[in-house]
Structure 1
Amino acid sequence: MWSTSKYLLLAAVVVCLSACFRLYSQLSSLNISTLIHHQFKARAPPPTISFYKPSLQWPPAACHGTLSCKPPIPSNFTIHGIWPQDRNDEPIPPYNKNNPCTPKTPTPPTNLPIKLRPIEVYLMSEWPNLTDGLNLTANYQFWEYEWKKHGTCSDYPDDPLTYFKSAVKLRLGISTIVRFGRQTSWTVKQVADEVFDVLKAYPEIACNLNPRGTQKQLWEIRLCYDRPNPRQTPHILINCTHILHVRKGKIIGPCKSLSDTIFFP
Structure 2
Amino acid sequence: MNHKSSILIILLIIQCLAILVVSQDFDFFYFVQQWPGSYCDKKQSCCYPKSGKPAPDFSIHGLWPNYKDGSYPSNCDPDSPFDESKISDLTNKMQEDWPTLACPSSDGLTFWGHEWDKHGTCSESVLDQHDYFATTLNLKKQVNLLQILTDAGINPDGEFYNLESIKDAIKGATGYTPWVECNVDGSGNSQLYQIYMCVDNSGSHIIECDVLPHGKCASKIQFPSF
Determine whether 1:222 maps to 2:196: yes
Question: Aligned partner of 1:214: which letter?
Answer: G
Instruction: Quote the Cα distance in structure 2 between the aligned partners of 1:61 and 1:191.
Output: 16
Determine whether 1:108 maps to 2:62: no
Q: CA deviation at 1:204?
A: 1.1
1:163-242 to structure 2, matched below 5 A, reads 163-175=132-144, 176-179=147-150, 180-182=154-156, 183-210=158-185, 212-228=186-202, 234-241=203-210
What's 2:26 paired with? Answer: 49
What's 2:76 paired with? Answer: 95
Q: CA deviation at 1:192?
A: 1.2
Residues 107/114 of structure 1: CA separation in 2 closer, same or farther (3 Å cut): same
Query: Which consecutive aligned stretches of 4+ in structure 1 deviate over 3 angstroms post-superposition?
Result: 45-48, 131-135, 155-158
Question: Aligned partner of 2:101: which letter?
Answer: L
Sequence identity, in percent? 24
TM-score, L = length of structure 2: 0.76
Tell me the matched-pair count.
194
Question: Aligned partner of 2:193: which letter?
Answer: W
Q: CA deviation at 1:220?
A: 0.6
Which digits, 9 at most, give the CA deviation of each residue in 1:163-206, with x for residues without a partner?
Answer: 01110011123333323112221232222111101111001111
What's 2:117 paired with? Answer: 148
Residues 155/108 of structure 1: CA separation in 2 closer, same or farther (3 Å cut): closer
> Please, which of 66, 79, 90 is the counterpart of residue 119 of structure 1?
90
Q: CA deviation at 1:91?
A: 2.3
SS at match of 1:152: helix
Instruction: Quote the Cα distance in structure 2 between the aligned partners of 1:171 and 1:90.
Output: 24
TM-score, L = length of structure 1: 0.65
Residues 133/76 of structure 1: CA separation in 2 closer, same or farther (3 Å cut): farther
Residues 95/108 of structure 1: CA separation in 2 closer, same or farther (3 Å cut): same
**Structure 1: gaps spanning 5 or more residues:** 1-42, 98-105, 229-233, 247-251
**Structure 2: gaps spanning 5 or more residues:** 1-16
Instruction: Quote the Cα distance in structure 2 between the aligned partners of 1:84 and 1:161.
Output: 16
Residues 223/239 of structure 1: CA separation in 2 closer, same or farther (3 Å cut): same
Which digits, 9 at most, give the CA deviation of each residue in 1:36-93, with x for residues without a partner?
Answer: xxxxxxx9x8673111111000011111124422362431010000001111232222
Q: CA deviation at 1:260?
A: 2.4
Q: CA deviation at 1:132?
A: 6.5
Instruction: Quote the Cα distance in structure 2 between the aligned partners of 1:157 and 1:213.
Output: 44
Contact 2:54-2:99 within 8 A present in 1 as well: no
Residues 75/94 of structure 1: CA separation in 2 closer, same or farther (3 Å cut): same
What's 1:264 paired with? Answer: 223
Higher Rg: 1
